[in-house]
Structure 1
Amino acid sequence: MSPSTRQNTIRRIPLIAVSPVLTVALVAGTVTVPAHAQAAGSSALTEAVGEYLPAILPAVQHHGAPVPEPLSLSDYGWYISDLSSYDGGIYYDVVSSFSDLRDNHPEVMKDSLDTVVDVNNSADPETVRRAQVDAAADDGNLLTALSDAFGSTLGEALRTSLQEHRLPKTRTLMDSGYLSRAGGLASSTLIEKEIFNYDRPFVVAPDRITKHTGGGNEGLYDLSGSAAFPSGHTNQASWTTTLLAVLLPELAPQLLARGAEAGYNRMVMGVHYPLDVVGGRMTGQAAAADRWNDPKMRTVLTQAGQELRAELEWRTGMPLAEAVATDTPYRSTGVAVGEYTSRMTHGLRRVGDPEAPLTVPQGAPELLVTAFPDLSWGQRARVLAATALPAGYPLDDQSPKGRAVGSWQRMNLAAAFAADVEVGQGAALMVNGRPA
């Protein structure tokens, strides 16, 4: 597809908001479920409700515990962030430099294929098992799959709370699969996939990819008609873990590292290239920034964060920061930042100017507001710049337009959340012991 054709495709995309499906369920007490589930009987109907609309299921109540309260009816309507802040209301501009890689850098495209082949073929049984779990969590129960990022005790507390339907706000916004209200059409990558139309690795190189079927993924490799770039699963895991990191900054590096693992696991399954995974992270974080910078959406996200924090603190009997400090973590902060940073590039070679200046995306600094509430927007932007990935790696768009909108490829959010920041006299700012 030529650049002009791609641009025409973008202009033809109707800017339609995602329908607030849950409103009908809440008001009328009914749920629209797939026809095959209706035909299968009441047990299948209950299962479908739990999968697609878990927030409407009745909560288990406990004496002295927080009382779960769903979002109000008005919280299900239109949000300005249902459309992206980029041209066309989607996230094409965030990853548009993929076309340049495909057209002008065959060495990077070869590296990308070789990398997924190596990851897919060398995965041990436990890595494959985790990848299968992540692959099955796209249309529901994503938070259960990601719960180990919270740590041993907190992860178990989260899973129990989810099983008891005690987190209706959180589940409505982030754990209802493709109906999650904090997601939506703009952040789904479906339109971007159609624009780029790039075949998956198991289609391009079927003799080099091992199909890890099982674990509820028997139909996974029927995706041959679905394009690869960018990765939708990575996108979903990325915007979810990014928003959770904003709401629970005590766990931010671990949450972000777990989202990066979910992307890596798409390569384990052989259904995505590293470039797809990088692009999914970029679009997911751009979408999370749009959501958090939307005042109306920030209000309901904050309510979900308060709900989640209160529940975890009730279950552990201590403030969240103390519970995190005494728990067995998913990864130590240093290891989490290291893994996340490595998975920002997956070892792909640089193709751009290593000295290119950085533009921090306008929406990115607000993602650090809960971690650094006393810093200004400009100071948080300097933290992001000080912890950013070096320039020139694939999908770091150095075109004039790319530099204007900023590089999500270079935003190392795990390192930024974990940064040691000191404010001196005047505008002096030290990040990890260095002037920023």
Structure 2
Amino acid sequence: MPASSLAAVLVPALVPALVAVTIVPVASAAPQDLVGQYLPATLPAVQHPGAPVPQPFELDDYVGYISDISSYPDGIYYSVVEGFNDLRDNHPEIIDQNLETVVRYNTTATPERIARAQADARVDDGDLLANVSDAFGAELGEYLRTAIAENRLPKTRALLDSGYLSRAQGLAASTLIEKEIFDNPRPFEVAPDRIVRHNDGDEDFYDLGGSASFPSGHTSQATLVTTLLATVLPELAPQLAARGSEAGESRVVMGVHYPLDVIGGRMTGTAAAADRWNDPKMRDALTQAGDEIRAELEWRTGMPLAQAVAEQDAAGLGYLSAADAVTVYAAQGTYGFGSVYDTDRAMNVPQGAPELLVNRFPELSWAQRAAVIAATALPSGSPLDRQVEDAGGSWQRVNLAAAYAAEVSVAADGTLTVNGVAV
């Protein structure tokens, strides 16, 4: 059955499943816990003299978003990662490497890395913002977590940190339909004797209800959230991009996803973030959330955010240097897979991607920001670098951490230079 026809069948079929997923915890959790998990923006904020006064969204701010439906065919992100079909059909060596790589990550992970992966696994239905707050650095991350605990970020949490009800996420970005279409079994099902189950006694991380592996929903969710945060907080953009990508790697460590799953999840999550940011009403809401975080952190530090980030970095308390964030993000864009397709193909920049750099490079035009993305892109030819004419651009090659960290200048004659190279 064609993907478009299958999507038409699956969308209405999955809506009851989504409702069930949301309702399942209700029977076992206290009402106040559920409010804190799914509706944190409704909780009263702790007020401080001289501090910004939190202002939740109005009811009208929760409706009317065109980006609730993907801009891609059939309103989902299947076409973004459709190249997975060719890998399964024609490249068994890549599928074999896919399994060997997850086995290696899963069986050689340190106890510290396993604990981090378990933490990343727990936050699909709430508290994602606190979990990725380490990307803000030791001091700023602690301030952010305190603000979250005091319910002082209602707009941010309504959009990005309300579990299944996060307004900037939604069905289109969930990957549930894509998983049903691809129907790829998970590594711990394919090779149960080779995958170590890293459970901790409190939760069975492998009880996934029979859901398929490709693409990774956890990765897509973490990527969407951290990409949107990076877009509104460019001072921390490379670190946030890397942290979202590392959440994807955690799924490989757990043995519940293959590397190609998390590469695919990063692709759908970034595409979904671009859809959200290119929606004028959602951009306004996200900008308000970014302003909310910025005002809170500047009040707590008593200085502009850029200065606070610089001082934190100088004290050795940052999460990653920009250079290290770029290295991490690039490595997790390919996971060591060799070239499968043409290696000399020009970068096809997805139409929605350049606007993700608008706050980092407000003086540049859309075309110039597209040139920055092209200049910092990963090499062509990797698995999932779909190169057919109707692909709409290669999200696999988009290297947001490198684009955010790029040194860019424009000469008097209009020549654009990226990292010392004229483009």
Q: TM-score, normalised by structure 2?
A: 0.95
Maintained 8 Å contact 1:187/1:287: yes
Q: Distance in 2 between matches of 1:356 and 1:35?
A: 47
3-state SS, counterpart of residue 430 of structure 1:
strand
Equivalent residue number for residue 120 of structure 2: 134
Unaligned runs of 5+ in 2: none
| 1:382 and 2:359 are equivalent in the alignment | no
Q: Distance in 2 between matches of 1:167 and 1:224?
A: 33
Equivalent residue number for residue 239 of structure 1: 224
**More deviation, 364-373/70-79:** 70-79
CA deviation after TM superposition for structure 1 residue 427, in Å: 2.7
Superposition map of 1:33-432 within 5 A: 44-214=30-200, 216=202, 218-223=203-208, 225-327=210-312, 328-402=317-391, 405-432=392-419
Maintained 8 Å contact 1:147/1:155: yes
Q: Which amino acid in structure 2 is aligned with residue 265 of structure 1?
A: S
Q: Which amino acid in structure 1 is aligned with residue 5 of structure 2?
A: N
Q: Distance in 2 between matches of 1:39 and 1:125?
A: 33
Q: Distance in 1 between matches of 2:342 and 2:363?
A: 34
CA deviation after TM superposition for structure 1 residue 11, in Å: 4.0
Maintained 8 Å contact 2:125/2:164: yes
CA deviation after TM superposition for structure 1 residue 36, in Å: 7.2
Q: Which amino acid in structure 2 is aligned with residue 220 of structure 1?
A: F
Q: 1:36 to 1:252 in 2, by over 3 A?
A: closer
Q: Distance in 2 between matches of 1:309 and 1:169?
A: 12
Q: Which amino acid in structure 1 is aligned with residue 380 of structure 2?
A: A
Q: Distance in 2 between matches of 1:86 and 1:36?
A: 31
Q: 1:76 to 1:107 in 2, by over 3 A?
A: same
CA deviation after TM superposition for structure 1 residue 224, in Å: 5.7
Q: Distance in 2 between matches of 1:350 and 1:179?
A: 39
CA deviation after TM superposition for structure 1 residue 12, in Å: 3.7
What's the % identity of the aligned pairs? 62
Q: Which amino acid in structure 2 is aligned with residue 123 of structure 1?
A: A
Q: Which amino acid in structure 2 is aligned with residue 273 of structure 1?
A: Y
Q: TM-score, normalised by structure 1?
A: 0.92
CA deviation after TM superposition for structure 1 residue 103, in Å: 0.6
Q: Which amino acid in structure 2 is aligned with residue 302 of structure 1?
A: T
Maintained 8 Å contact 1:420/1:432: yes
- Residues paired across the two proteins, number: 417
CA deviation after TM superposition for structure 1 residue 169, in Å: 0.1
Q: Distance in 2 between matches of 1:360 and 1:314?
A: 38
Deviations 1:94-116 (A, max 9, x none): 00000000111000001011000
CA deviation after TM superposition for structure 1 residue 7, in Å: 3.6
Deviations 1:260-314 (A, max 9, x none): 1100000110000000000000000000000000001001111001001000111
Q: Which amino acid in structure 1 is aligned with residue 418 of structure 2?
A: V
Deviations 1:214-267 (A, max 9, x none): 174x22211261100000000000000000000100000000111111000001
CA deviation after TM superposition for structure 1 residue 426, in Å: 2.6
Q: Distance in 2 between matches of 1:421 and 1:255?
A: 20
Maintained 8 Å contact 1:202/1:270: yes
Deviations 1:152-203 (A, max 9, x none): 1000000000000000000000001111000000010000000000000000
CA deviation after TM superposition for structure 1 residue 34, in Å: 7.2
Q: Distance in 1 between matches of 2:26 and 2:106?
A: 38
Deviations 1:102-144 (A, max 9, x none): 1110000010110000000000000000000000011000011
Q: Which amino acid in structure 2 is aligned with residue 293 of structure 1?
A: N
CA deviation after TM superposition for structure 1 residue 333, in Å: 0.8
Q: Which amino acid in structure 1 is aligned with residue 370 of structure 2?
A: A
Maintained 8 Å contact 1:256/1:340: yes
Q: Distance in 1 between matches of 2:25 and 2:127?
A: 18
Q: Distance in 1 between matches of 2:70 and 2:181?
A: 16
3-state SS, counterpart of residue 422 of structure 1:
strand
Equivalent residue number for residue 3 of structure 2: 6
Q: 1:215 to 1:235 in 2, by over 3 A?
A: farther
CA deviation after TM superposition for structure 1 residue 5, in Å: 3.6
Q: 1:135 to 1:39 in 2, by over 3 A?
A: closer
RMSD, aligned CA = 2.0
Maintained 8 Å contact 2:26/2:34: no
Q: 1:33 to 1:139 in 2, by over 3 A?
A: closer
